[in-house]
């Protein structure tokens, strides 16, 4: 899921605090631990960032609605129930919370307040139904203009499919890539497309504005794709000049290809035999 920055008024804060107090944070209900952002992480404002949390000892989370807010960090007068001074809501539904079942939510953080002595913040996540609440570690916001320009720390590399892989039309595969935004985050939005074998001519769109933070995204080769050799091009949606192309792989028609010829050791383009994209 993905959210855009949404500013709520102070009534949202008051109601969130009231909800927190009335539900009883320490009354035996589910605890909540915000795991990202990590301590002293530097995040670039305006870029996609994934907030992650869990509610159970095994690292899982309970499906529900979660209010996600940004707080200015304060080193003084802070207890375990406080994230700091409320700054803005990161969930577009404010106090009603954003629906989530996986314990991660993509947000876009605002620019740091210009009147602060530093740009330290925390993110608070509140379980709307059960009142569970947690604060992230302290992290820092910087503007896009202040982000490092070291090309070695800002890159995108497609690792699968590789040269010699085989893809069958109509079936699901994982495109794999490594991405670094320059300041320690791999979460962003990407366009994934099928190109000719020289990666010079667009053939078909595979996934537009795909949100990803793990470097692996499932796609399907369209059933009307001609049997031939191709590459997959992955580009950062907000910076189309940052892109990379996969190795050259072969696309074969599912009705003319013997599935038994696919041997796990012969390719790295992740495939589940018998699994069609329209069955997922």
pLDDT of amino acid 268:
41
Tell me if residue 272 falls in helix, strand or coil.
Answer: strand
Reported as a pLDDT band with limits 50, 70 and 90, residue 143 is: confident
On the question of pLDDT at 225 being above 60, the answer is yes
| Residue of 46 and 97 predicted with greater confidence | 97
What's the CA gap between 108 and 169, in Å, rounded?
35
pLDDT of amino acid 260:
58
Q: Quick one: 175 exposed, middle or buried, by C-beta within 10 A (0-12, 13-18, 19+)? A: buried
Domain 30-146 and domain 151-254, same fold? Reply is yes
Q: Which one of 4-18, 114-128, 198-212 scores highest in mean pLDDT?
A: 198-212
* CB neighbour burial string for 195-222, b if at least 16 within 10 angstroms, e if fewer: beeebeeebeebbeebbbbebebebbbe
Mean per-residue pLDDT, 197-224: 91
* C-alpha dihedral, 250 to 253 to 254 to 257, nearest 10°: -70
On the question of pLDDT at 162 being above 70, the answer is yes
pLDDT of amino acid 66:
97
Mean per-residue pLDDT, 179-194: 83
Mean per-residue pLDDT, 141-165: 85
Q: What percent of the chain clears pLDDT 90, i.e. is strictly above it? A: 46
Q: What residue ranges do the domains of the chain occupy? A: 30-146, 151-254
Give the class (CATH, top level) of 151-254: mainly beta
Whether the CA torsion 174, 175, 177, 179 is positive or negative: it is negative
pLDDT of amino acid 273:
39
| Residue of 278 and 202 predicted with greater confidence | 202
Alpha helices, DSSP H only, in the chain? 10-23
Of 39-48, 54-63, 92-101, 243-252, minimum mean pLDDT range: 54-63
What's the CA gap between 43 and 213, in Å, rounded?
14
Whether the CA torsion 60, 179, 46, 82 is positive or negative: it is positive
- 52-96 pLDDT per residue, tens: 899 877 777 889 999 999 999 977 645 556 799 999 999 999 999
CATH topology classification for 30-146:
Immunoglobulin-like (2.60.40)
pLDDT of amino acid 80:
56
**Which tokens sit at 201?**
């001519």
What's the CA gap between 65 and 101, in Å, rounded?
9
Q: Of 174, 234, 175, which Cα lies nearest the Cα of 199? A: 234
pLDDT of amino acid 151:
64
pLDDT of amino acid 183:
72
Reported as a pLDDT band with limits 50, 70 and 90, residue 50 is: confident
On the question of pLDDT at 28 being above 70, the answer is no
Reported as a pLDDT band with limits 50, 70 and 90, residue 40 is: confident
Helices then strands, each counted (H, E), the chain: 1, 20
| Residue of 196 and 186 predicted with greater confidence | 196
Reported as a pLDDT band with limits 50, 70 and 90, residue 48 is: confident
pLDDT of amino acid 5:
34
> What ranges make up the beta strands (E) of 37-82?
42-44, 48-54, 64-72
pLDDT of amino acid 47:
81
Of 84-93, 130-139, 142-151, minimum mean pLDDT range: 142-151
């Amino acid at each position: 899921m993905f959210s855009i920055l949404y500013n709520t008024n102070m009534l949202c804060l008051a109601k969130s605090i009231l909800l927190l107090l009335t539900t009883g944070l320490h009354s035996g209900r589910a605890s909540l631990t915000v795991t990202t952002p990590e301590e002293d992480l530097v995040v670039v404002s305006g870029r996609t960032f994934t907030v992650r949390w869990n509610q159970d000892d095994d690292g899982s989370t309970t499906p529900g609605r979660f209010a996600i807010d940004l707080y200015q960090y304060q080193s003084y007068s802070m207890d375990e129930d406080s994230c700091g001074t409320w700054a803005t809501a990161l969930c577009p539904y404010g106090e009603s919370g954003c629906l989530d079942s996986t314990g991660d939510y993509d947000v876009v953080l605002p620019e740091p307040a210009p009147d602060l002595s530093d740009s330290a913040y925390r993110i608070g996540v509140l379980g709307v139904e059960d009142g569970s609440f947690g604060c992230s570690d302290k992290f820092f916001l910087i503007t896009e203009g202040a982000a490092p320009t070291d090309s070695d720390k800002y890159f995108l590399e497609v690792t699968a499919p590789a040269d010699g892989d085989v893809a069958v039309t109509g079936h699901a595969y994982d495109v794999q890539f490594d991405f670094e935004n320059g300041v320690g985050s791999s979460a962003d939005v990407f366009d994934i497309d099928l190109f000719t074998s020289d990666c010079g001519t667009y053939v078909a769109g595979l996934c537009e504005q795909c949100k990803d933070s793990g470097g692996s995204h499932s796609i399907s080769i369209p059933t009307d794709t001609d049997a031939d050799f191709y590459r997959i091009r992955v580009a950062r949606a907000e910076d189309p000049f940052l892109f990379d192309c996969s190795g050259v792989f072969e696309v074969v028609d599912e009705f003319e290809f013997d599935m038994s010829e696919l041997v796990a050791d012969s390719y790295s383009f992740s495939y589940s035999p018998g699994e069609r994209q329209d069955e997922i």
